[in-house]
Amino acid sequence: MAALGAGLAGCSSTPREPARVDYRNVPTYSGSAGRAASMTCSGGSYTVRSGDTLSEIAESCGVEMAALASANGLSRPYTLRPGQTLSMPQAAVHVVQRGENLYRIGLRYDIPFQQLASHNGIPAPYELEVGQSIRLPRGASVASAAPTRRTSAPATTSRRPTPTPTPTRTSAPAAQPTAQPAANTAVSFDWPIRGEVLSSFGRKPDGSRNDGINIAARTGDEVRAAAAGQVVYAGSELAGYGQLVLLRHDGGFVTAYAHNSRLMVREGDQVTRGQVIAAAGSSGTVEVAQVHFEIRRGVNPEDPMRHLR
């Protein structure tokens, strides 16, 4: 999805040390351009030859000159000596953790998940394996790509029949007019659909975690936008979510609506609060009709019950 691009937690999506960078030999050409093209980068390093310049080495090895200089502690005017060994900067990568998917990774680095998929040659439905290295496009820093620790997979809607945990709330209350919330109170969202809460937010006894709530529905019931915003994803390419809509709202919020039977909006659409955006269903990894609903502030999931009015 545009600036958010592919971690939505909550719906079922299951999805190595950083991969070594391999540098290929390139053919030799004549002239100054040929000199750069004839340079050989292998094993993540390069041995300086007489007459080499840092810019030529960076171009030949396919790395940013600034990153190459930084990796070797060089400063302007980047003086090199023959025989000097330069270490290549490590490609920025993200190591897939349990419970992550391409959308979540893209959201973390502010990269559209479609771009990540293309950059790594990952076809739809974009399935990942724990420990898999995802190369990040230029501009994502290696430091920010350090993997985060997760102790368990995010809980999701299940393939089993309707779960029956004690609901945090048995039904969505009718929306009541409220005053504009104060700066220190939770931002208000409307319920996307009215129904019993089948699964609440948070960690479950089996160690899994639900980053949203699951609301009972009937196939075809109207699913409405919880607040005004822009559609940043509408499709079924993310494994486990079924027909999914993601809306971006003011204040850095994103809402997710999964397992629909039909979508009523397209990416880029502007929607109003309460507008019908989908028809409920049981697509994805569920067998009974329901709506998986999430509210995220940036990349962090928040309990929808704190925001729903």
CB count within 10 Å of CB 45 equals 13
Q: Which pTM does this prediction carry?
A: 0.51
* Percentage of the residues of the chain whose pLDDT score is greater than 70: 69
Most confident of 30-44, 49-63, 79-93, 235-249: 235-249
76-135 per-position pLDDT tens digit: 888 899 999 988 876 677 888 877 788 878 877 778 888 888 888 888 777 888 888 888
pLDDT at 106: 81
129 CB-contact burial (10 Å; exposed 0-12 / middle 13-18 / buried 19+):
exposed
Element (H, E) at 57: helix 54-61
Average of per-residue pLDDT across 250-254: 91
> In order of start, what are the domains of the chain with their CATH numbers?
31-87 (3.10.350.10), 93-145 (3.10.350.10), 154-306 (2.70.70.10)
More confident residue, 169 or 117: 117
Task: Tell me the two tokens of residue 228.
Answer: 């005004």
* Percentage of the residues of the chain whose pLDDT score is greater than 90: 31
As a whole number of angstroms, the distance between CA 175 and CA 155 comes to 28
pLDDT at 97: 81
Tokens 């502690």 — which residue?
73
